[in-house]
């Protein structure tokens, strides 16, 4: 396929609404193959109400997990004896602590790396030391008790462990003012003012939860002024997204522009936060022309938006617009998280069709295979997906609080309980940060798209199983021939790095893989100058043999600093040289400037 002509606007750029056709969302992707009988609609309505009460969590899935675990445990007397011996050993270790009570003694039980509930030095003193160690001993016992067992479905073992951990977290001594030395010290120091302020915070949060309202962004963190403030203009808009072209900051630019496809599960400006840590600002300052997709925040009227809409009316329409503004030039395509998944699908489809407009593909914390998708898989099985589908069928989308609860419970120790103690018992306000403001600025998921995503990718893993069809024909990631740059983060609990690494297993092209410090967001927003940053990288030539993640990790040397400079150097190497500054927009070809960045869609609530 040749590049688009210079003097015409491609048909995908005509800003017409997506026509869902005569078939409703119910029959087009929410678990139904036909218009259902009213009695079945009654069933779905009841389940939708139950789903809203449970936050979208299917009680059937977790009851099944406990039942499976219980039956197999009763049939395993050897495991029961093992756990009894473990309980005895743990009790003896705790008794040994009571005789010494030395805070310098080697701890037999320690919190997990992301668990900061016991960081206060008061936990090293009796009696708090015993309460902490006793809780950690019970937590350790349940971790062992819910380990994989012969005959027990692995996912049920993982779910049982997850539920046991959630139940234990509710009774942690850190949650009770009389048992937490940090709360006791703060109460004495303030004369109880911390508890009064904490009660006020609790009342405020309850009110916001019930009314579904949000606090405005604090001073110094206004979107368009302090955040998402890299200069640019909206050069294209349809019902799904706005396309932002950023103003150049150098006298010349690299010939090939960059098109960034962010995830639509959150707002795009995670990649354009404050000026000092904005990836967009960094790339523009390095002499690249950058285009950014800013997705709409869908409403119930857009329930029929599909994955194909996000590919065709989203990514492909944006690429067509970039080609109109910069005709004859290939494009460096960049995808983050879910945006990286749809970019991989788009790239494979373009390769199949002979569309050679991409110069390279960069995937950041993006999965193409979901067999090892971490603890998010705990929320994805037939029962869970059907439950969510019924809820979305009723309201037209997956709402923001429902997604936020899912991500929070995966790291409940830090994201729920530590925050609750800090806010409600210590009386401390959440300190505003640019990333914190972005995290609170959540979006909705259109019902049909989210159902297709959960079923086709998470539940059935079709993309790497050779069963994901685009326009009626299966696509293959191995068809991608342009160079790829793939970034994973070490402590990512949304896209675990070994899952992201599997991109190498399903592609044959030249590929550079980077494993960076940090989590799903902090590892990507990893600007130069951060003293805690480090990364590992390795290059795989096209057609090379596959190397597993453990072997790769053993050989890849760690380097201090941000991975951004290595990436921009790689982009330069994949480019064809400097050219004069391009125009912003293309009014003569039907793409006038529609307003300054960050546009209007980023403000949709």
pLDDT in tens, 53-104: 666 677 788 889 999 999 999 999 999 999 999 999 999 888 876 655 555 6
Does the annotation mark 509 as catalytic?
Answer: no
Residue that wins the pLDDT comparison between 112 and 477: 477
Nearest to 367 by CA among 470, 495, 455: 495
Q: Are residues 361 and 238 in the same domain?
A: yes
State the Cα angle at 161 between 377 and 398, rounded to 5°.
Answer: 35
Q: Which tokens in the block code for residue 412?
A: 């409940």
Percent of the chain with pLDDT over 90: 67
Q: Which domain holds residue 90?
A: 59-168
pLDDT band per the 50, 70, 90 thresholds, residue 31 = very low
Q: Is the pTM of this model over 0.85?
A: yes
Phi, psi at residue 485, to the nearest 5°?
Answer: -125, 115
Q: Would you state the pLDDT for residue 14? A: 42
Residue 173, pLDDT > 70, answer yes
Q: Would you state the pLDDT for residue 2? A: 41
In whole angstroms, what is the distance from residue 398 CA to residue 413 CA?
25
The residues pairing with 536 across neighbouring beta strands, listed in sequence order, are 515, 558
Q: Would you state the pLDDT for residue 29? A: 44
496-522: pLDDT as tens digits: 999 999 999 999 999 999 999 999 999
Residue 519 in domain: yes
Q: Which of 229, 296, 337, 509 is catalytic?
A: 337
pLDDT band per the 50, 70, 90 thresholds, residue 431 = confident
User: 63: helix, coil or strand?
Assistant: helix
Residue 551 in domain: yes
Q: Would you state the pLDDT for residue 603? A: 95
The last residue of one of the domains, among 112, 135, 168, is: 168
Look up tokens 């994805």; give the residue: 380
Q: Would you state the pLDDT for residue 292? A: 98
Q: Which tokens in the block code for residue 319?
A: 């690429």
| pLDDT average, residue stretch 266-289 | 97
Residue that wins the pLDDT comparison between 49 and 231: 231
Residue 385 in domain: no
Q: Are residues 362 and 472 in the same domain?
A: yes
In whole angstroms, what is the distance from residue 495 CA to residue 497 CA?
6
Longest dimension (CA), the chain: 85
Q: Are residues 181 and 149 in the same domain?
A: no
The residues pairing with 362 across neighbouring beta strands, listed in sequence order, are 334, 485
Q: Which tokens in the block code for residue 356?
A: 């050679």
Q: How many domains does the chain have?
A: 3
Residue 28, pLDDT > 60, answer no
Cα 69 versus chain centre, distance: 30
The last residue of one of the domains, among 381, 414, 431, is: 431
Q: Which tokens in the block code for residue 78?
A: 């050897």
176-217: pLDDT as tens digits: 999 999 999 999 999 999 999 999 999 998 988 778 777 788
Q: Which tokens in the block code for residue 57?
A: 């969590």
Residue 339 in domain: yes
Residue 4, pLDDT > 70, answer no
Q: Would you state the pLDDT for residue 32? A: 43
């Amino acid at each position: 396929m040749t590049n688009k002509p210079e003097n015409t606007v491609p048909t995908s750029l005509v800003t017409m609404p997506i026509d869902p056709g005569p078939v409703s969302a119910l029959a087009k992707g929410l678990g139904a193959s036909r218009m259902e009988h009213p009695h079945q609609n009654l069933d779905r309505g009841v389940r939708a109400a139950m789903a809203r009460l449970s936050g979208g969590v299917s009680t059937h899935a977790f009851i099944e997990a406990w039942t499976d675990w219980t039956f197999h445990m009763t049939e395993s007397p050897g495991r029961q004896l093992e756990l009894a011996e473990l309980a005895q050993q743990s009790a003896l270790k705790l008794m040994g602590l009571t005789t010494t009570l030395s805070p310098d003694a080697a701890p037999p039980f320690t919190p997990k790396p992301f668990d900061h509930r016991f960081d206060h030095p008061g936990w090293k003193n009796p009696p708090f030391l015993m309460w902490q160690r006793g809780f950690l001993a019970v937590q350790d016992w349940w971790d062992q008790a819910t380990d994989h067992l012969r005959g027990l479905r692995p996912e049920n073992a993982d779910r049982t462990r997850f539920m046991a951990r959630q139940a234990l977290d509710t009774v942690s001594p850190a949650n009770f003012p009389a048992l937490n030395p940090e709360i006791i010290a703060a109460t004495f120091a303030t004369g109880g003012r911390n508890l009064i302020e904490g009660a006020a915070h609790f009342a405020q949060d309850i009110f916001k939860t019930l009314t579904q309202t949000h606090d405005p962004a604090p001073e110094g963190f206004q979107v368009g002024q302090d955040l998402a403030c890299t200069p640019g203009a909206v050069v294209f808009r349809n019902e799904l997204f706005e396309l932002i072209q950023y103003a150049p900051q150098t006298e010349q630019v690299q010939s090939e522009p960059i098109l960034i496809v962010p995830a639509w599960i959150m707002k795009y400006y995670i990649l354009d936060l404050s000026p000092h840590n904005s990836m967009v600002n960094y790339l523009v300052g390095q002499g690249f022309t950058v285009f950014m997709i800013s997705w709409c925040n869908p409403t119930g009227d857009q329930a029929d938006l599909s994955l194909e809409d996000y590919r065709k009316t989203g990514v492909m329409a944006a690429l067509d617009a970039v080609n109109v503004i910069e005709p004859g030039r290939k494009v460096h395509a960049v995808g983050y998280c879910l945006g990286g998944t749809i970019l991989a699908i788009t790239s494979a489809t373009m390769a199949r069709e002979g569309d050679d407009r991409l110069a390279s593909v960069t995937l950041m914390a993006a999965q193409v295979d979901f067999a090892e998708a971490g603890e998010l898989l705990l929320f994805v099985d037939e029962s869970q997906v059907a439950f969510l589908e019924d809820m979305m069928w009723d309201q037209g989308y997956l709402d923001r609080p429902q997604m936020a609860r899912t991500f929070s419970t995966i790291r409940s120790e830090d994201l729920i309980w530590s925050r609750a103690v800090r806010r409600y018992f210590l009386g401390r306000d959440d300190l505003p940060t640019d990333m914190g403001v972005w995290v609170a600025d959540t979006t909705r998921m259109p019902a049909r798209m989210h159902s297709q995503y959960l079923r086709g990718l998470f539940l059935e893993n079709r993309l790497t199983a050779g069963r994901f069809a685009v326009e009626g024909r299966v696509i293959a990631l191995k068809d991608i021939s342009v160079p790829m740059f793939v970034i994973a983060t070490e402590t990512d609990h949304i896209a675990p790095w070994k899952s992201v690494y599997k991109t190498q297993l399903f592609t044959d092209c030249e590929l550079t893989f980077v494993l960076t410090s940090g989590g799903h967001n902090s590892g990507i927003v990893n600007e130069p100058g951060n003293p805690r940053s480090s990364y590992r990288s390795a290059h795989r030539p096209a057609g090379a043999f596959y190397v597993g993640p453990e072997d790769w990790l053993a050989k890849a040397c760690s380097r201090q600093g941000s991975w951004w400079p290595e990436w921009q150097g790689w982009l330069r190497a994949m480019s064809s040289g400097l050219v004069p500054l391009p125009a912003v927009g293309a009014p003569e070809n039907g793409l006038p400037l529609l307003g300054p960045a960050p546009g209007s869609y980023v403000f949709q609530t």
